[in-house]
Amino acid sequence: MAEIRCTKCGNKIYIDPFSLPYKGEVACDNCKNVMKVDLSTSYFVVETNHPDPYDDFSNYYWWKISELERHSITEAALSLGSGAYTASEFMSLRTLESVCRRYYKKVTGKDYKGSWASIIEEMAEDPQFKSYTGALHYFREVRNRVGHPEGTSSKLDAESSYKMSIRLAKELVDKLEPIAKNE
Ligand SMILES: [Zn+2]
């Protein structure tokens, strides 16, 4: 009997040798993680189909971001898994932009009135946000890439924007008041 291991929980998943070769998806019975697999009689390749934004944020932070932000980062993760890298970066950026708006309001006491994603640009130039300048400059580049009519994102671009948007969102959320349940 052939077996693979779940990339998330380590559970053993048995593969019927008569079904080989097989290329497609396998779900873990234990944790429901879906993996992309390429199984031949001589080699097994197992990849997690998409990152899990709940795990990447952790339970603690997951409930400190808004419903819109949870939705956006989930779409970023799903797009990443299906190879839609530009769409994924766009949604990672949108997640961060939403957190930035809340943080901007907390620091300046006013609502941000500018257009979508221009908040990244504004915060990158504002000395009040200088502790985040490095990350904000990175996201300004991302914004230019996804906002450009001919721009496309690579897998690496999408993966780093996904990770970095979560990292910066967590830092900013730590400074924010808890959000009301219905926000
Ligand atoms: Zn599992």
Query: Is 80 part of a structural domain of the chain?
Result: yes
Query: Is 61 part of a structural domain of the chain?
Result: yes
Tell how far the Cα of 32 is from the centroid of ligand 1, in angstroms: 6
Give the pLDDT confidence score for residue 128 in this predicted structure. Answer: 93
Query: Is 161 part of a structural domain of the chain?
Result: yes
CATH of the domain at 24: 2.20.28
Q: How many helices (H) and strands (E) does the chain have?
A: 7, 5
One domain for residues 23 and 107: no
One domain for residues 44 and 66: no
Tell how far the Cα of 5 is from the centroid of ligand 1, in angstroms: 8
Query: Is 179 part of a structural domain of the chain?
Result: no
Give the pLDDT confidence score for residue 180 in this predicted structure. Answer: 63
pLDDT of 151 higher than 70:
yes
- Contact indicator for 4, 25 with CB cutoff of 8 Å: no
Q: How far apart are the first and last CA of the chain?
A: 50
Around 162, how many Cα atoms within 13 Å sit in the side-chain half-sphere? Answer: 30
27-31 long-range contacts (CB < 8 A, ≥24 apart) are 30/6, 31/6
Tell how far the Cα of 86 is from the centroid of ligand 1, in angstroms: 29
| DSSP letter assigned to residue 66 | -
One domain for residues 158 and 92: yes
Q: 6-41 burial string, b = 16+ CB within 10 Å, else e? A: bbbeeeebebeeeeeeeeeebebeeeebebbbebee
Task: For residue range 91-146, list pLDDT tens digits in order.
Answer: 999 999 999 999 999 999 999 988 777 899 999 999 999 999 999 999 999 998 88
Number of domains composing the chain: 2
Tell how far the Cα of 2 is from the centroid of ligand 1, in angstroms: 17
113: its two tokens: 């009135």
pLDDT of 181 higher than 70:
no
Owning domain of residue 42? 2-48
User: What CA dihedral angle connects 40, 44, 49 and 53, to 10 degrees?
Assistant: 170
Model pTM? 0.77
One domain for residues 162 and 138: yes
Query: Is 182 part of a structural domain of the chain?
Result: no
User: What CA dihedral angle connects 169, 171, 177 and 179, to 10 degrees?
Assistant: 20
Tell how far the Cα of 6 is from the centroid of ligand 1, in angstroms: 5
One domain for residues 153 and 168: yes
One domain for residues 114 and 32: no
Tell how far the Cα of 93 is from the centroid of ligand 1, in angstroms: 29
Tell how far the Cα of 9 is from the centroid of ligand 1, in angstroms: 4
- State mean pLDDT over 174-183: 73
Tell how far the Cα of 45 is from the centroid of ligand 1, in angstroms: 16
Task: For residue range 51-89, list pLDDT tens digits in order.
Answer: 999 999 999 999 999 999 999 999 999 999 888 999 999
Query: Is 33 part of a structural domain of the chain?
Result: yes
Tell how far the Cα of 164 is from the centroid of ligand 1, in angstroms: 26
Query: Is 103 part of a structural domain of the chain?
Result: yes
Burial class (CB in 10 A: 0-12, 13-18, 19+), 95: buried
Give the pLDDT confidence score for residue 54 in this predicted structure. Answer: 92
Tell how far the Cα of 85 is from the centroid of ligand 1, in angstroms: 25
